[in-house]
Amino acid sequence: MPRVSRLRGWIACALLLAICAVAHAGGPRWVTGPPYFTTAGAPVVWYTNAPQYFTDPGDLSATVNHAAAEAIVAAAASVWNVPSSALVLGEGGSLDEHVSSANTYLTASGVQFPADVQASNYLAKQIAVVYDYDGTVTDLLLGSGASDPAGCRQSGVTESVDSIAADGHILHAILVLNGRCTGTDPAMQLQLQYQLMRAFGRVLGLSWSQTNDNVFTQSPVPTYQQALHWPVMHPIDIVCGPYTYQCMAQPFSLRMDDVSALDTLYYIPNGTAPPGKVDTLAGANRVTGTISFPTGQGMRGVNVLARRLEQFWGTPEDWYSVSAVTGSLDRVNNGNPVRGQGTTLGDSMGRAYPGLEGLYALTHIDIFPGESWQDILIDTEPVNPLYTGQYAVGAYAISTIAPSGTTTTQESQVQLSYGDSVVSEQPKGAAAVCDTSSDGDESSPALVPTTGWWSGMLCPYGHTAWSTMTVRGNRSLTMEATAQDESGYVSVHKMRPVLGVWNASDPTGTLPTLGAASTAFNTPATATTGLTVTVSQPAALRMVVAEERGDGRPDFHYQARVLYADSVAPASVSATGGVVTISGMGFRPGNTVTVNGAAATVLSWSANTIVATVPPSAASTSTSADVTVSDPLTGGVSTMYGALTYAAPVAQRLLLVSAPSGSVFVGDALTPSFSVRVTQLDGVTPIANQQVTFGVVQGAARFAACGASTCTLTTDATGTAATAMTVLAPGLTLASATAAAGSVTTSLNAQTRVRTLTLQPASVYVASGASLSLALTAALADNSAPVAGVGINWTALTSGISLPGYWSTAGAQGSSTLPATLTMAAAHQASLRACAWSSVCAVMTATSVAQQDLRLAVVSGAGQSVAAGAAFAPVVLQVSDVDGHPVVGADVTVRQTLDSGTPCIGHGRCPLQPVLATAQSTLVSDANGEVQVVPLQQGSTATVTNLAASSGTQGFVSLSVLQTP
Amino acid sequence: MRFVQGSYGLCVACGLLFAFCCRSLAQAPTVAATVEDALHQMEARAGVIFTGQVVAVRPLGSNALSPAVVEIDFRVENAIRGCTAGSTYTLREWGGLWAADGARYQPGERLLMLLHAPTAAGLSSPVDGQDGAIPIVGATSQVASASSVAAIGAVAATESVDLRWLAAKVLRPLQYAPPQLHRGVHPLAAGGLAVAADGARASSRESSSSVAMVVAMLRQWEAADAAR
């Protein structure tokens, strides 16, 4: 266990003791301070150590007569008479009359009680106890129905300290007991007594106390001893049944903590105890000290608790005996530049003095009975966040402050009777930096960063941060500050930022002239205060971030920003809207833009720019519009009033420039593109920046501009919007272009494309050993229609065939012819491939035909008989293979004899005809396997021409033709 | 305790006894089993209910330090009973409530107010003391750097009614544990030792409801009350 942390030197010790001697610090309900009080930093106590209460002479209720009521009051008051406190709370007698609605009423000067009940009678009667027989006084003070028995836990006793003198003394108080909160059940009277006891504590000037608070929170589950040391002045009762006194162990006995608090206010210095009293520290110890930041600044709002360790024992008590909150004498509300310094009693509490900020005093810790000394262990904890407002513990009444850092148990050893020790500590890890060097002050505020975002801290006590910026006229802007802890996490339990804005030219020391957010956390965002101001003329502004209580400490961090939209470019757009860039500061992703309340589409954000597409104008004429940037997280807004001008809307026409139509193929990027033009009514003057939507009315198609079936384009400077399109399915397709001016439609009949490439000849049979040139023609077609201009790739797949080139282009007829050279070896098959559109191909084959497989046939010209003088028609022979395929390149040998054609008359063998002529030739079969032979012919006599032709080893044919005289 | 005396007959005595018994039963404060019950009980005793924002606080009377009456103007946002949405409602409180404890309301505060109906003299106050002036607060978030995109992700800008103090009115059993050894390290900020703060945080999580939900609930009760 850590050892004693005694004072860090005699100087500090002397300072603390001096303060304690003056202040008797503890947990006072009120502490003096300016402007109302003439002193500062002293607990407010009764002007006399022997205040008396005076009771109503009537009955409390139909079930509790006067005597019974007197007993209740006496029991509740007597608890507060303890030997170690200078206070003697006694009964002074009766009021002059029974107080009721008959003699109590509201006047212009307030609620008028009977004369002896009024504060002005304080010298004679300090505390007036009113028996509100029928609840009508309670109702008068608190409202109709306030005395309803259902609310007795709160309205059973109404307490008001209605006079506190400027010298820091309580003069007068009123306690109203609600008779409707009594009844035949004795528990009801005990509950009233319990509430009255606590109300007396408040009237005597005691604050609420947080000691063994786990009794209230039940976390961890308390021990019975902890419950026995849960103070009477705990802030909020436990509700375990109809009567809360039953939820407290020994409810009518003050705890050591209550006594310590009372002793703090009504201290009996050593050796000054009057008869019947003892010195406050007789048989007791006091521990004072400070909890402070590493910077030396006191840490306010820390609950400091003491538990005892009996001499020669190793284990301390497992409950706390006494507590006090640091800074209880410090200034409660130091004012700030936003709200100023109030002048009410509540605004006058405490003294702004550095030595008080972290100071605590545990005034009366009893030494164990029968022992001569003890050790005291000191712990710390935060104040329960519920203990604010009417339940406040310590000086932070508006909200509690989460302390900074980590403490360890400290020990004050061997404390004898009258022992008065000092235990101070700097929590480990507490905020150690107070750097506000970049802050401006009221006379020379710092420039707001160009991004509009900045971080800062408010410290030391009373520090304020001032900024300045220049704005255009007709603008609103929002200043925000988000409270953070020393680690940068947003927290509602640290500073409470308030904001103010002035014209820079306003005199210093004045309250805000343009706007003030004097209450913290007024936005939906956690821990964020916002202030929106409007500026009509160009101006330099002065701004402040301050703390609501005028506080400041190293763990009071914040992030601030100014959300300000400065300008918009372009400042004019057509009536149909357009893209604009908003310049300013404090922007962030998620900010929204509206134009005259209509949402714009935000395209991008940065801290200083927002790019957005503003919506069309709804006006029929040229108009100016307000552009507003909003932050939905905080509710912050900045508006540029009349900053954007919409041109007057103009009449329009939508003209079709071009569109694909008629029969098209599925999948083709169609030409021409679908193009329309928006013009004024003259059909000539283009209108730019108009939205045109291309869409499919029927069928399926895709527009290249956006790759979808619907595209919205903006017309260019020529008023044109165009996109290529592709039909995706066969059948009728209707596509439209629609603009504000109207709509145009195009109709297409789409079919699935069938592409062919045909080679002619597709196959050829060539006489073995032949070498020849063959014209190859590739014909291209789309769905039977020739296609010109398409490239054809030729490839010889085998030997025996060669081409003059590998690439040709289909001509106008959709075909291309190349001369192929074939050199056919025996038993060989050569092939060639032609391809177009990459994948549409055809193959030509040339098959070698052996000589023995050649056959010869007469195609035409056989059996002719012509008169002399007429010419024979050529005889056409065809070479083929055994399967009848024409064979090209085959040699055909033709022999002719021209014989005389004298008729053979009579019987017997005819004589041989004389041979008039002979001829022999060799021909080569053409692509059709054919050769043409012209028969010999001469004279005018009758002749017979005999032809004999052979090809290969097996091909042979003979014929004769006749010439008649 | 006062007892009936005199020569009244037995019936009269019995009747009075019965009346006392009934009165006693009627006076026994009821205890809420849930936060909703607590709110409902307060609603039943309220003559004026609304959500609104404090726009002005005016101490009246010759003694500024101890005003006779304090007028508080609210701009009514959601009117549930006894007032009109969009209007200004002026609460007039006895100065004695302000004399010692200073400002009970601050301009700019947003509150759910459950007020006693004003008396003929015009004074009123919240039901159950300041428990009837329930703070309306922003939503909880864990924003570390407000200029970051993550901050936007943490947006939960719904407002809620802080019902933690009503939660303290709810019935709960007393429990005691065996004596325990004490701890020695006390993280002031994070809440390790923060017995009270821990409890309050747990309570806070359970005892905060959206303004819309609470207003809807109050309106439902108001309609039921009106139907009766």
Alpha-carbon gap, residue A628 to A644, rounded angstroms: 11
CB contacts < 8 A (A, B): 372
Can you give the CATH number for the domain in which B77 is found?
2.40.50.120
Does the pLDDT value for residue B83 go beyond 80? yes
Residue A259 to chain B, least CA–CA distance (Å): 22
Question: Can you give the pLDDT at residue A377?
Answer: 96
C-beta atoms of B103 and A407 within 8 A: no
User: Of A618 and A555, which is predicted with more confidence?
Assistant: A555
Q: What is the residue-wise DSSP string for A37-88?
A: -SS-S-B-EESSSS-EEEE-SS-SSSSS-HHHHHHHHHHHHHTT--TTBS--
**Span A757-775, mean pLDDT?**
91
Query: The tokens of A334 are what?
Result: 């130091």
Radius of gyration over every alpha carbon of chain B, rounded to an integer in angstroms: 23
**Span A498-511, mean pLDDT?**
96
**Do the domains spanning A755-849 and A853-964 agree at the CATH topology level?**
yes
CATH class of the domain comprising A446-646: mainly beta
Q: Per residue in A730-756, pLDDT tens?
A: 999 999 998 877 788 899 999 998 889
**Strand-pair category, A359-366 with A284-290:** antiparallel
CATH code matching the domain that covers A653-750, chosen among 3.30.200.20, 3.40.640.10, 1.10.10.10, 2.60.40.10: 2.60.40.10
Residue B217 to chain A, least CA–CA distance (Å): 21
pLDDT confidence bin for A909, thresholds 50/70/90: low
Question: Can you give the pLDDT at residue B143?
Answer: 33
User: Of B16 and A738, which is predicted with more confidence?
Assistant: A738
Interfacial B residues in 184-213 facing A (CB < 8 Å):
184-204
Alpha-carbon gap, residue A509 to A347, rounded angstroms: 19
Spell out which residues of chain A touch residue B115, defining contact as CB-CB under 8 Å.
143
CATH code matching the domain that covers A755-849, chosen among 3.30.70.260, 3.40.309.10, 3.40.50.2300, 2.60.40.10: 2.60.40.10
Spell out which residues of chain B touch residue A307, defining contact as CB-CB under 8 Å.
182
Spell out which residues of chain B touch residue A107, defining contact as CB-CB under 8 Å.
68
Q: Which of A150-164, A677-691, A693-707, A906-920 has the lowest mean pLDDT?
A: A906-920
Q: Per residue in B148-191, pLDDT tens?
A: 333 333 333 467 899 999 999 999 988 888 876 544 444 444 33
C-beta atoms of B128 and A453 within 8 A: no
Question: Can you give the pLDDT at residue B5?
Answer: 38
C-beta atoms of A218 and B172 within 8 A: yes
Q: What angle do CA B191, B196, B199 make, to 5 degrees?
A: 85
C-beta atoms of A525 and B138 within 8 A: yes
Spell out which residues of chain A touch residue B122, defining contact as CB-CB under 8 Å.
106
Closest alpha carbon within chain A to B198: A219
C-beta atoms of B27 and A149 within 8 A: yes
Q: Which of A369-383, B15-29, B210-224 has the lowest mean pLDDT?
A: B15-29
Q: Which of A121-125, A344-348, B97-101 has the lowest mean pLDDT?
A: B97-101
Spell out which residues of chain B touch residue A635, defining contact as CB-CB under 8 Å.
157
**Above pLDDT 70, what percent of chain A?**
96
pLDDT confidence bin for A19, thresholds 50/70/90: very low
Interface test with A, best of B97, B188, B193, B208 (most A CBs within 10 A): B188
Q: What angle do CA A563, A564, A569 make, to 5 degrees?
A: 135
Question: Can you give the pLDDT at residue B202?
Answer: 36
Question: Can you give the pLDDT at residue A689?
Answer: 85
User: Of A962 and B198, which is predicted with more confidence?
Assistant: A962
3-state class (DSSP) for residue A740: coil
What CATH number has the domain spanning A853-964?
2.60.40.10
User: Of A817 and B186, which is predicted with more confidence?
Assistant: A817
Spell out which residues of chain B touch residue A389, defining contact as CB-CB under 8 Å.
104, 130
Q: Is residue B100 part of a domain?
A: yes
Of B24, B196, B203, the CB nearest to A184: B24
| Contacts of residue A304, Cβ cutoff 8 Å, sequence gap at least 6 | A289, A291, A323, A324, A325, A326, A360, A362, A378, A379, A380
Structural domain boundaries of chain A?
A: 10-27+278-361+370-422, 45-204, 446-646, 653-750, 755-849, 853-964
Interface test with A, best of B42, B101, B128 (most A CBs within 10 A): B101
Measured in whole angstroms, the distance separating CA A897 from the mean position of its chain's CA atoms is 110
Q: Is residue B12 part of a domain?
A: no
C-beta atoms of B27 and A183 within 8 A: yes
Spell out which residues of chain B touch residue A218, defining contact as CB-CB under 8 Å.
172, 175, 199
Alpha-carbon gap, residue A794 to A817, rounded angstroms: 11
Alpha-carbon gap, residue A636 to A629, rounded angstroms: 8
**Span B33-62, mean pLDDT?**
92
Q: Which of A820-824, A957-961, B155-159 has the lowest mean pLDDT?
A: B155-159
Q: Is residue B223 part of a domain?
A: no
Q: Is residue B129 part of a domain?
A: yes
Q: Which of A14-28, A493-507, A717-731, B47-61 has the lowest mean pLDDT?
A: A14-28
Does the pLDDT value for residue A9 go beyond 90? no
Of A63, A217, A403, the CB nearest to B2: A63
Does the pLDDT value for residue A788 go beyond 80? yes
Please count the helices (runs of H) and the strands (runs of E) in chain A.
8, 62
Q: Do the Cβ atoms of A896 and A942 come closer than 8 Å? A: no
Spell out which residues of chain A touch residue B95, defining contact as CB-CB under 8 Å.
110-111
Whether chain A has a CB inside 8 Å of the CB on B135: the answer is no
Measured in whole angstroms, the distance separating CA A92 from the mean position of its chain's CA atoms is 67
Q: What is the residue-wise DSSP string for A835-886?
A: EETTTEEEEEEEEEE-GGG-EEEEEE-TT-EEETTSPPPPEEEEEE-TT--B
**Span A436-455, mean pLDDT?**
96
Spell out which residues of chain A touch residue B32, defining contact as CB-CB under 8 Å.
239
pLDDT confidence bin for A344, thresholds 50/70/90: confident
Alpha-carbon gap, residue A472 to A639, rounded angstroms: 11
The overall average pLDDT reported for chain A is 92
Of B27, B108, B187, the CB nearest to A519: B108
C-beta atoms of A227 and B129 within 8 A: no
Residue B145 to chain A, least CA–CA distance (Å): 8
Does the pLDDT value for residue A931 go beyond 60? yes
C-beta atoms of B116 and A241 within 8 A: no
Question: Can you give the pLDDT at residue A157?
Answer: 97
pLDDT confidence bin for B198, thresholds 50/70/90: very low
User: Of A3 and A689, which is predicted with more confidence?
Assistant: A689
Q: Do the Cβ atoms of A431 and A405 come closer than 8 Å? A: yes
Spell out which residues of chain B touch residue A390, defining contact as CB-CB under 8 Å.
101, 129-130
pLDDT confidence bin for A910, thresholds 50/70/90: low
Interfacial B residues in 20-39 facing A (CB < 8 Å):
20-21, 23-24, 26-32
Of B28, B127, B194, the CB nearest to A185: B28
Angle of helix B211-227 relative to helix B35-45, nearest 10 degrees, comes to 50
Residue A538 to chain B, least CA–CA distance (Å): 27
Residue A444 to chain B, least CA–CA distance (Å): 27
Residue among A52, A347, A273 nearest A170 (CA): A52
Number of domain units in chain B: 1
Q: Which domain holds residue B98?
A: 46-137
Residue A450 to chain B, least CA–CA distance (Å): 14
Spell out which residues of chain B touch residue A346, defining contact as CB-CB under 8 Å.
98, 101-103
Q: Is residue B5 part of a domain?
A: no
Radius of gyration over every alpha carbon of chain A, rounded to an integer in angstroms: 57
Question: Can you give the pLDDT at residue A266?
Answer: 97
Interfacial B residues in 67-106 facing A (CB < 8 Å):
67-69, 94-104, 106
Alpha-carbon gap, residue A33 to A42, rounded angstroms: 8
C-beta atoms of B109 and A161 within 8 A: no
**Span A422-450, mean pLDDT?**
96
Question: Can you give the pLDDT at residue B207?
Answer: 61
**Above pLDDT 90, what percent of chain A?**
80
Alpha-carbon gap, residue B177 to A227, rounded angstroms: 10
Alpha-carbon gap, residue A381 to A303, rounded angstroms: 5
Q: Per residue in A721-737, pLDDT tens?
A: 999 999 999 999 999 99
| Contacts of residue B22, Cβ cutoff 8 Å, sequence gap at least 6 | none
Q: Is residue B19 part of a domain?
A: no
Does the pLDDT value for residue A105 go beyond 70? yes
pLDDT confidence bin for A691, thresholds 50/70/90: confident
Residue B38 to chain A, least CA–CA distance (Å): 11
pLDDT confidence bin for A22, thresholds 50/70/90: very low
pTM: 0.71
C-beta atoms of B116 and A59 within 8 A: no
